Amino acid sequence: MSILTPFSRRKTRIGLVAGGLAAYWPQFPELLPQLQESSAYVTGRFNELDAEVVDVGFVSDAHEATAAAEKLRVADCDLIVIFLTTYLTSSMVLPIAQKSHTPVLVIDLQPTEAMDHANFDTGKWLAYCGQCPVPEVANVFKRAGIPFRSVSGHLKQESAWTRINQWVHAAGVRARLRTARHGLMGHLYPGMLDVSTDLTLVQTQFGSHVEVLEFDDLRVRVDEVTDAQVRDRVALARELFSIDGSVNQEDFDWGAKVSVALDRLVTDFDLDTVAYYHRGLQGEQHERLGAGMILGSSILTARGIPMAGEYELRTSIAMLAAQAIGSGGSFTEIQAINFFDDVVEMGHDGPAHLAVSARDPLLRGLGVYHGKRGWGVSVEFDVQPGPVTTFGLGQDRDGSYVFITSEGTVVPGPLLEIGNTTSRVDFGGDPGEWVDEWSQTGIGHHWALCVGHRAADIKAAAALLGIGHRHVDMTAKRSWEI
């Protein structure tokens, strides 16, 4: 169905440059061709990824490195990877990091697991010497105030490539956030002080744009939706959801109408996310709009355009970051604790990410939303069993943002049937202690629930974005900040 075609503003852009020391080439004629062969292998591996690769070739001295740095600067990459094929001087690497103003990953992948010592001469050894300059480069980066990160291994070592791919995923988060346009529609849920977000900091820390919207921007688009468009959207919803008997057809049609208008709103304002809330009064149209958002918001979230209720801009940003690493990211809060089973029950009655559902999601009719005015249809499902990551965006006293994570496992068991996306998460320890540790991090009321254990990817993304990362690990009975 074209309506669920995944949305992405652009592919992650990876800059790639390889290098070695020109003084070696006349001394060891067979060395450069071997290093270029290794470089071609690395380029091939990067080209297999879902990313745009800007390969500026092989550099042998500081002049060539400076020219490569200028090409990479113009390319506006999300991550630059420097392949140290053998020893080279730090003067060749530093300009690339300085000129580009882009995070750099240094990789040194020797040809095989180990040298054949009995049959190696100096030239063959130098092909294994990519690790030699790593401390030198790290020292110079530190003195230049440039964050240093590296992956050391051998060319076909899959665990090394897993670590490299982790940085590529992190670059994907950086790409999505620094080009994102976030819609913020309505007003703060009264009294939720934790939700309040400094819009200027979103742009200064991430590079994102926040478009402030009125509910009237949605209202005028709802008025333009035709009966035929409503019928088509209802038909789509019947394909995507199981329809509970509690769903009133009039409410179903209204949710479908709002859904069509939300698609138009997102297109017209060129949005990557939307956070919204409107209280309303006595059933007037703005109240009905706010109550009719869940169906359309869930469909948009499934397409990769996360939507979050209760004006939760920071959570919609976290959901977008989770989307960038292919981990879903569904709007979530704590519901209760089951001390018999040692699980935290969590979910929400708002927009849901259909990709995390264990079965066909259910549309349930609700006569009332808890804590909100209005009525209508809501999405209900249990999250698929297996590893999950809770991922939120905190904001500290000094205004700085921080990524916050914890990893657990969704386990089967009894769930509420009240139109919520619910799950039972085992964090490997006392669930009450987990709530205490999780709250100590400075997390807000809501967060994204992601499929898989992805804290390492999120930690890497925080590093590329230049923000902190806090992680709660109940199996180790501790939490830490990086």
Give me the CATH number covering residue 113: 3.40.50.10940
In this model, does residue 466 exceed pLDDT 60? yes
Q: 201: part of which helix (H) or strand (E)? A: helix 199-206
Which among 467, 406, 468 is positioned nearest to 437, based on CA atoms? 406
pLDDT at 1: 37
* 21 and 120 belong to one structural domain: yes
Paired tokens of 41: 């292998």
In this model, does residue 375 exceed pLDDT 80? no
Strand order in the sheet with 104-110: 51-59, 12-19, 79-84, 104-110, 150-154
The residue segments making up the domain with residue 289 are: 180-481
Q: 268: part of which helix (H) or strand (E)? A: helix 249-268
3-state class of 312 per DSSP? coil
Neighbours of 425 (CB within 10 A): 23
Query: What is the CATH number for 376?
Result: 3.40.275.10
Calculate ∠ Cα 345-392-305, nearest 5°.
Answer: 100
pLDDT band for 394, please (50, 70, 90 cuts): very high
Measured between alpha carbons, how far is 196 from 187 in angstroms, rounded to an integer?
10
- Among 150, 177, 204, the domain-final residue is 177
pLDDT at 481: 56
Judged by phi (left if over 0) then psi (alpha if -120 to 50, else beta), residue 145 lies in left
pLDDT at 2: 45
- Among 177, 209, 230, the domain-final residue is 177
- Among 145, 177, 209, the domain-final residue is 177
Measured between alpha carbons, how far is 467 from 447 in angstroms, rounded to an integer?
17
pLDDT band for 5, please (50, 70, 90 cuts): confident
Q: Which amino acid is at 434?
A: W
Range scoring the smallest mean pLDDT among 5-9, 288-292, 372-376, 405-409 = 372-376
What's the mean pLDDT when you consider all of the chain? 91
pLDDT tens figures, 216-261: 999 999 999 999 999 999 999 999 888 988 888 999 999 999 999 9
Instruction: Supply the angle between the helices 313-324 and 158-178 in degrees, to the nearest 10.
Output: 140
- Higher-scoring residue by pLDDT: 265, 280: 265
pLDDT tens figures, 408-448: 999 999 877 776 778 899 999 999 999 999 999 999 999 99
Which among 249, 253, 251, 250 is positioned nearest to 232, based on CA atoms? 253
* 207 and 76 belong to one structural domain: no
pLDDT tens figures, 361-370: 888 887 656 5
3-state class of 424 per DSSP? strand
* 151 and 186 belong to one structural domain: no
DSSP, res 393:
E
* 49 and 109 belong to one structural domain: yes
Q: What is the DSSP string of 44-103?
A: HHHHTSSEEEEEEEEE-SHHHHHHHHHHHHHHT-SEEEEEE-S---HHHHHHHHHHH-S-
In this model, does residue 210 exceed pLDDT 80? yes
pLDDT tens figures, 7-52: 878 899 999 999 999 999 999 999 999 999 999 999 999 999 989 9
pLDDT tens figures, 122-164: 999 999 999 999 999 999 999 999 999 999 999 999 999 999 9
pTM, entire model: 0.90
Average pLDDT (465-478) is 88
Phi, psi dihedrals of residue 277, rounded to the nearest 5°: -170, 140
In this model, does residue 72 exceed pLDDT 50? yes
Which among 95, 99, 111 is positioned nearest to 62, based on CA atoms? 95
Paired tokens of 45: 């591996």
Measured between alpha carbons, how far is 297 from 293 in angstroms, rounded to an integer?
6
Which residue is it, tokens 């665990």? 159
* 295 and 333 belong to one structural domain: yes
* 464 and 420 belong to one structural domain: yes
In this model, does residue 283 exceed pLDDT 90? no
Of all residues in the chain, the percent with pLDDT exceeding 70 is 96
pLDDT at 10: 87
* 116 and 170 belong to one structural domain: yes
In this model, does residue 92 exceed pLDDT 90? yes
* 185 and 159 belong to one structural domain: no
Q: How many domains does the chain have?
A: 2
Measured between alpha carbons, how far is 319 from 392 in angstroms, rounded to an integer?
8
In this model, does residue 480 exceed pLDDT 70? no
* 142 and 202 belong to one structural domain: no
Phi, psi dihedrals of residue 375, rounded to the nearest 5°: -155, 165
* 152 and 235 belong to one structural domain: no
* 355 and 312 belong to one structural domain: yes
Of all residues in the chain, the percent with pLDDT exceeding 90 is 74
* 28 and 166 belong to one structural domain: yes
For 89-92, which contacts have Cβ atoms below 8 Å and span 24 or more sequence positions?
89/21, 89/62, 89/133, 89/136, 90/133, 90/136, 90/137, 90/139, 90/140, 91/62, 91/65, 92/19, 92/59, 92/61, 92/62, 92/64, 92/65
pLDDT at 329: 87
Measured between alpha carbons, how far is 296 from 255 in angstroms, rounded to an integer?
7
pLDDT tens figures, 160-209: 999 999 999 999 999 999 999 999 999 988 888 888 888 999 999 999 99
pLDDT at 46: 95
